[in-house]
């Protein structure tokens, strides 16, 4: 069955990516999901099937910005995600863009996380 919608294409890209990348306790997977209203980031240890840390635009420091997530919101979330990861002792991660194109908000989030000290 062929995909017909943008969402179905994205899910297929995500499944293709997930075959190749795995998160471990030493190097968890930094999973990013973008909805129309929010951006979510999770640090996942796939070997133990456990979420180590999670932040989103619904988190307390970013909640006030509200509305459609912009590039600036994505940058702030990238910095917040890096802080949350470092609080858990995470220094290096495997980046999982979730089937979304690497550009715009995804790229801004990733660059901000790198500048805040995460390695991937």
Residues contacting 66, CB < 8 A, separation 6+: none
Whether residue 120 is contained in a domain is answered as no
Q: Where residue 40 sits, what CATH number does that domain have?
A: 3.30.420.100
pLDDT at 1: 62
Residue reference for tokens 């979330």: 77
On whether residue 106 sits in a domain, the answer given is: yes
Number of domains in the chain: 1
pLDDT score of 69: 86
**Coil, strand, or helix at residue 50?**
strand
Whether 84 is covered by a domain: the verdict is yes
Axis crossing angle, helix 105-115 with helix 71-87, rounded to the nearest 10: 40
Residue 1 forms part of a structural domain:
no
Range of the domain at 85: 6-22+30-115
CA distances from 97 to 41, 52, 113 (A): 10, 18, 13
Predicted local distance difference test score (pLDDT) of residue 49: 93
pLDDT at 60: 85
Burial of 116 (0-12, 13-18, 19+ CB in 10 A): middle
Q: Which residues does the chain have with pLDDT short of 70?
A: 1, 3, 67
29-34 vs 94-96, strand pairing mode? parallel
């Amino acid at each position: 069955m062929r995909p017909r919608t943008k969402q179905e294409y994205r899910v297929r890209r995500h499944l293709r990516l997930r075959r190749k990348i795995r998160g471990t306790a030493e190097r968890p997977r930094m999973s990013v999901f973008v909805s129309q209203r929010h951006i979510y980031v999770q640090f996942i240890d796939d070997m133990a099937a456990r979420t180590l840390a999670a932040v989103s635009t619904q988190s307390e420091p970013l909640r006030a910005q509200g509305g459609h997530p912009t590039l600036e919101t994505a940058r702030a979330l990238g910095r917040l995600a890096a802080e949350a990861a470092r609080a858990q002792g995470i220094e290096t991660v495997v980046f999982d863009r979730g089937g979304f194109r690497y550009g715009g908000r995804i790229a801004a989030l990733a660059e901000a996380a790198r500048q805040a000290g995460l390695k991937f």
